[in-house]
Amino acid sequence: MFIKEHLENGIPVVMESFKTVRAVAVGVWVKVGSRYEARAENGISHFLEHMFFKGTKKYTAKDIAVEIDTMGGDLNAYTSRENTAFYVKVLDEYLEKGVNLLSEIFVHSTFPEDELEKEKQIIREEIKMVEDTPDDYIHDLFNETVWGREGLGQSILGTRETLASFTRENIISHIRRYYGTKDLVIACAGNFDHAEMMKILNHRFGGLRQGSEPKIGPAPAFSSKAKVFPKDLSEAHICIGVPAISQVSEERYALFILNSILGGSVSSRLFQEIRENRGLAYSVFSFTSSYLDTGLWAVYAGVSKKRVSEVADLIVREMMRLKETITADELDKSQRHIKGNMLLALESTNSRMNNIARQEMYFGKYISPDEIIKAVDQVTLDQVTDLSERLIRKSLFSAVVYGPVEKDVINGIF
């Protein structure tokens, strides 16, 4: 059962309770991520996310770890381009203790000076880890290529230079600017009583002050270009994509279906053609990234350096021919794939918590699984064909290759 209420200070609380599980997940979402950061402060949201776990007025960092482990639970956080989330998942018998621990780090963290440099070093290692994971790092390179070096094009982790510049004053300033009642959404999913949950949340989060929501400028322009980043690696990594639609577009279900047909499943066109039929790649898939006002639709593949041009050409050709070749059978298969994936994902309390939080942030309302299923079923062949024709044009393509290749390896593909 879904319920939306507000704390006494106005923070919206979205709740979905069900008695078939023993777990309860509670999270706090802040409507700020890396796209809102000035270039000189790139990475501050992620750095702050780490620093919240470094000690409070009541607990040391080790105390926090011991407390959550003693409950057998999970206390964690993540940063994205448009929001930062902090959450706890515990057994229902530890609901109050779990929420108290979550609120302790969110409301009462002290950000001790002696932890700043240690955490900077940890994030430097995280940056190195991403850079040493080329199938991750290419997505940062692709985002920077298509969106530029500000806003959506910025790395979530920031850079070594910006990271080195952060002070405790930067952290406090960021909190004062963004971590207020207008910036927050609290989401709860699992086995709990609504009245009890609201009582606990009002007690623990009711003292937060009012804030101002992050403001973004006009949607960034998608830059269509081909760029190569030479690197001595075992294989080459490719990202090829086009600008797409926003998170709130009414055509989002049509795009989900297009993505499933192109490369979003093991029976998709790209997986079958590039991996199964030709044996050219172990990993190949398409994906969508959608934001408040824009998005992209792209394909990733990891291939031998000798096969870059061949695979890139296959990707572009497969995308270009979509509008003329999508069949009713593919539409039906993809609709069933999307519905099945969604329903299986919602078996998890974490997934349900994330789902209702995102719905509140992007739509301001709850969209039930039945409504989503109905919307997916209502997408027609004409709608997906029309959307593919509008999104996929050679003049819109952008491509990035990262690996042991020459700079002219993808010339002439578009």
**pTM for the predicted model, two decimal places:** 0.94
Establish whether 49 is a catalytic residue. yes
Residues 150 and 290 in one domain: no
Residues 262 and 381 in one domain: yes
Q: Which pLDDT band, with edges at 50, 70 and 90, does 69 fall under? A: very high
Residues 256 and 386 in one domain: yes
Residues 397 and 263 in one domain: yes
Beta-strand pair 23-30/84-91:
antiparallel
Give the pLDDT confidence of 177-192 residue by residue, as tens digits: 889 898 999 999 999 9
Q: The tokens of 17 are what?
A: 């309770």
Q: Is 359 helix (H, G, I), strand (E, B) or coil?
A: helix
Averaged pLDDT, 39-43: 96
Confidence (pLDDT) at 147: 96
Q: The tokens of 188 are what?
A: 């709860």
Is the confidence at residue 213, as pLDDT, over 70?
A: no
Confidence (pLDDT) at 61: 94
Is the confidence at residue 394, as pLDDT, over 80?
A: yes
Residues 252 and 391 in one domain: yes
Calculate what percentage of the chain has a pLDDT beyond 70: 98
Q: Which pLDDT band, with edges at 50, 70 and 90, does 408 fall under? A: confident
Q: Which pLDDT band, with edges at 50, 70 and 90, does 131 fall under? A: very high
Is the confidence at residue 338, as pLDDT, over 90?
A: yes
Give the pLDDT confidence of 12-23 residue by residue, as tens digits: 999 999 999 999
Residues 27 and 161 in one domain: yes
Task: For residue 293, give the nearest of 395, 221, 388 by alpha carbon.
Answer: 221
Residue 125 placed within a domain: yes
Contacting residues for 38 by C-beta, under 8 A, at least 6 apart? none
Residues 70 and 201 in one domain: yes
* Structural domain boundaries enclosing 107: 2-205
Residues 254 and 198 in one domain: no
Residue 35 placed within a domain: yes
Task: For residue 319, give the nearest of 237, 400, 397 by alpha carbon.
Answer: 397
Is the confidence at residue 413, as pLDDT, over 90?
A: no
CA distances from 263 to 245, 260, 295 (A): 18, 6, 17
State how far the Cα of 227 lies from the Cα of 310, in Å rounded to an integer: 17
Confidence (pLDDT) at 409: 76
Let me know if 111 is exposed, middle or buried by CB neighbors in 10 A (0-12, 13-18, 19+): middle
Task: For residue 152, give the nearest of 227, 68, 246, 265 by alpha carbon.
Answer: 246
Residue 409 placed within a domain: no
Is the confidence at residue 211, as pLDDT, over 80?
A: no
Give the pLDDT confidence of 353-365 residue by residue, as tens digits: 999 999 999 999 9
Active-site hit among 16, 37, 41, 49: 49
Calculate what percentage of the chain has a pLDDT beyond 90: 92
**β-pair partners for 238:** 301, 401
Residues 142 and 274 in one domain: no
* Residue at token pair 């207008």: 182
Residue 220 placed within a domain: no
Looking at 205, 239, 269, the residue that finishes a domain is 205
Is the confidence at residue 209, as pLDDT, over 90?
A: no
Confidence (pLDDT) at 215: 72
Q: Which pLDDT band, with edges at 50, 70 and 90, does 216 fall under? A: confident
**Is 407 or 54 the better-scoring residue by pLDDT?**
54
Residues 172 and 252 in one domain: no
Residues 184 and 282 in one domain: no
Is the confidence at residue 241, as pLDDT, over 90?
A: yes
